[in-house]
Chains A and B, each alone.
Chain A
């Protein structure tokens, strides 16, 4: 009997295999698998290897037919690993390199970059992709990371639900750009310390106030200067007019004095009216000098 592989899926730590024989009978096998990888500190090589073990227990599950299920499954897993490894590689198609400078950004408060942070990163990327129309079903498991270095830098790709192809770079790029701010904030970083190489950051538009500020201040100072100048000029004119008036009054008085005739004791003689004089009774008239007998 020959069995053909119909479908394989990985769901929550279980493999689900559907095999079909030439008479179209379907055989299902579900195996629990344990995924593990080496601790981050021991990562020296450029490649990470995902090691898979399958907990195969022929006693618990048995197929009606006798075939080398273990070997098939191993072959199959290697195939899938190989395909997965090919999807996420440096400079792969639709792959992006990410670079973080956590210590530069946070100094003493820097956190360690571990698998949990990676999980969070994958969640944020999946979140960004879910906001794209037609991609609402993106799961965290669709985001693959590889080549994590000490720098902290790594490559990532986003695969489609079938896990065979990666999503086109433009979609990923636009999704990341739309949510860049939120991604940055989750990690307490900014555009310079969390870099997506090949994804340019949108520069903030300049804040242009409707009236340039300098004109306002210029206007204020200009008005103050004009007011002060006018005040000074007016006061100068008034002062000069007063001076002119005083000097002209003095001139007038001098002119008047010159035009009158003789002056005695600074009283013009013309004003002395003989008629309106005052009779001095001290001086008696001739008639009254001799007293009558």
Chain B
């Protein structure tokens, strides 16, 4: 008797699972950075164009493939063409890499969440040094939030060569993060739908609360105006378009096999075109929404620092010239400075080098992305709010929901092909397979909890998936259109969903998206080749800031291995299938 494939409890669970997978940390910490870099409001133009031209067609393609083939990525691509099973294998390998390093972010999120239940917040004050006469030197040179991130959380080493030992605090949090993922995924991918209700909806609740709080903060409007003032000349910058395309591509999570896995549990008659549009629009809207929140918080932080800087200047002048306390304010500062310069020129020239130049634009210009934004900049803004514990808890809870939602998708991408294969599922129950997967990933992930772990994290983050994914999706599109046949696929899709396939999708699949993919792929390849030695940012404890260093040769070898191991799967499996088929044909000849 054939086992019918499990299904989502209801179609809404599928939509929520896709949303919770697509809406991840990239929406919160990469999109605001890009928005700021490429001129605020004007970045939205390339973003939306890329969404319509690249994001939606590719998303629809993956969902359609999954729904039609009703198998995980390996099985689906093998069905499309026996030589292309390698595409599925490459997807699984890439997902495995991603799952390994992505969960450490959740571990850091847990660490910060647990530490938020203290008064005062541990990253708001510098710790005292050994003999209690002042603050720790490293903390004085950097800031208290940077110190807490680099020293207390990561205990980072000066370079990637000094590996150091495994830090037990992040290790514990990593184990907890993997246990959470295991808990959600152990009953199978289709049960993820129940968890998806929470992981998809709760971040929006927190974002709305933060929006209200952020807009009412003092100085929020500075940040918002800075972000949304369009710099139209950035539209001519090709980098803006490339980054828009890249952001759409990675934000939707294409090429990992997750979407195929999720869609494979759909009913065949499910209208995945509607769901495509919903998911992609929700994803982009969330990006814009979260960048509004981010920029109001940026504005608050920048205004706060600017006013602090001004106050320091005022205090310095008041003390040096023994002016009346409260006489100097921000409004008359320039006049008084001029007066003092003319009346006491010698003394003023002594004081002048110590006066900092306070500028609001300089504070706003410090655009940060990635872990630096979430764990350094945001925490700095939060510590200055009232009831900072509450805001901190909310914020890290939201980060965790986003991160766990994406992790579930990634683990599902690896798990579905494993549970689909008869070899494994006949010997081991579902729980054991997922348990083993989580265990292996956790063990490898302990690498990132070492003192140099953050540098390895950056390696994985920058190189493990970018190039491979572009290649995978390119091959996918070409496979469906030209190997399987666009007409055949379209006809099957129409028969399955009983709705006509618009010409728009056909044109996009056949021409535009592959061209875009080829362009992006070539750009990135040339970028890596032309930039020569790859460099990374290392934390220098003596100076209290980041310095640039070169990667050692073995790190470069690891990078090369990461990229090769996923991209080589495609030609290797194709070659392997070809050889096996030739051998089988050769074996069958004598019988004929």
Contact = CB atoms under 8 A, between A and B. Distances in A.
Interface of A: 99-104, 110, 149-153, 200, 202-203, 205-206, 213-215, 217-218, 221-222, 225-226, 228-229, 232-233, 236-237, 240
B133 A99 contact: no
A265 to B, nearest CB: 27
A99 B316 CA distance: 13
A203 B325 contact: no
A203 to B, nearest CB: 6
A221 B186 contact: no
Given A222-B176, A228-B183, A240-B429, A149 B322 contact: yes
B13 to A, nearest CB: 18
B325 A233 contact: no
B325 A100 contact: yes
Given A217-B114, A222-B176, A222-B179, A236 B324 contact: no
A225 B322 contact: no
Interface in B87-114: 110-111, 114
Contacts of B431: 233, 236-237
A221 B118 contact: no
Contacts of A101: 325
B111 A151 contact: no
Interface in B546-584: none
Given A151-B318, A151-B322, A206-B127, A218 B134 contact: no
B487 to A, nearest CB: 43
6 A-B pairs closest in CB distance: A103-B326, A214-B114, A151-B322, A150-B324, A149-B322, A217-B114
Contact of A218 (B118, B172, B187, B325): B172
Interface in B171-188: 172-173, 176, 179-180, 182-183, 186-187
B186 A229 contact: yes
Contacts of A102: 325
A100 B319 CA distance: 10
A225 B176 contact: yes
Interface of B: 110-111, 114-115, 117-118, 127-128, 132-134, 172-173, 176, 179-180, 182-183, 186-187, 318-319, 322-326, 429-431
A153 B429 CA distance: 79
Contacts of A215: 114
B183 A152 contact: no
A54 to B, nearest CB: 34
A215 B430 CA distance: 32
Contacts of B322: 149-151, 153
B183 A232 contact: yes
Contacts of B115: 213-214
Contacts of B319: 99, 151
A214 B117 contact: yes
Contact of B128 (A100, A110, A205, A217): A205
Contacts of A103: 325-326
Contacts of A213: 114-115, 117-118
Given A110-B326, A214-B117, A218-B173, 18 more contacts: A100-B325, A149-B322, A151-B325, A200-B133, A213-B115, A214-B114, A214-B115, A215-B114, A218-B110, A218-B114, A218-B176, A225-B179, A225-B180, A229-B179, A229-B182, A232-B186, A233-B431, A236-B430
Contacts of B430: 236
Contact of A203 (B128, B182, B183): B128
Contacts of A218: 110, 114, 172-173, 176
B128 A206 contact: yes
Contacts of A110: 326
14 contacts: A103-B326, A104-B326, A150-B324, A203-B128, A213-B114, A217-B114, A222-B179, A225-B176, A225-B183, A228-B183, A229-B179, A232-B187, A233-B431, A236-B186
A264 B128 CA distance: 94
Contacts of B326: 103-104, 110
Which interface residue of A153, A218, A240 has the most chain B CB atoms within 10 A? A218
Contacts of B180: 225
A213 B173 CA distance: 14
A104 B128 contact: no
B128 A226 contact: no
Contacts of A237: 431
Contacts of B132: 202-203, 205
A103 B327 CA distance: 9
Contacts of A236: 186-187, 429-431
B176 A221 contact: yes
A99 B326 CA distance: 13
Contacts of B183: 225, 228-229, 232
B178 to A, nearest CB: 10
A218 B169 CA distance: 10
A152 B318 CA distance: 10
B438 to A, nearest CB: 10
Given A203-B134, A205-B132, A206-B127, A104 B325 contact: yes
A236 B322 CA distance: 77
Nearest to B113: A217
Contact of B186 (A151, A153, A233): A233
A267 B113 CA distance: 69
Which interface residue of B114, B186, B323 has the most chain A CB atoms within 10 A? B114
Nearest to A222: B176
Nearest to B182: A229
A103 B431 CA distance: 67
A109 to B, nearest CB: 13
Nearest to B173: A218
A196 to B, nearest CB: 14
Nearest to A200: B133
Contacts of A214: 111, 114-115, 117-118
Contacts of B323: 150-151
B179 A226 contact: yes
A215 B173 CA distance: 10
Nearest to A102: B325
Contacts of A222: 176, 179
A221 B134 CA distance: 36
Contacts of A203: 128, 132-134
Which interface residue of B134, B176, B322 has the most chain A CB atoms within 10 A? B322
A54 B323 CA distance: 36
Contacts of A153: 322
B435 to A, nearest CB: 9
Contacts of B325: 100-104, 151-152
A29 B515 CA distance: 112
B234 to A, nearest CB: 43
Contacts of B127: 206
Contacts of A99: 319
Contacts of A226: 179
A152 B324 CA distance: 7
A198 to B, nearest CB: 14
B440 to A, nearest CB: 17
B401 to A, nearest CB: 14
Which interface residue of A149, A202, A233 has the most chain B CB atoms within 10 A? A233
Contacts of B172: 218
A95 B133 CA distance: 23
Which interface residue of B176, B322, B323, B325 has the most chain A CB atoms within 10 A? B325
Nearest to A99: B319
Nearest to A229: B183
Contacts of A104: 325-326
B187 A217 contact: no
Nearest to A217: B114
A236 B134 CA distance: 58
B425 to A, nearest CB: 13
Nearest to A230: B183
A7 B105 CA distance: 81
A215 B431 CA distance: 29
A103 B328 CA distance: 11
Nearest to B1: A247
B130 to A, nearest CB: 12
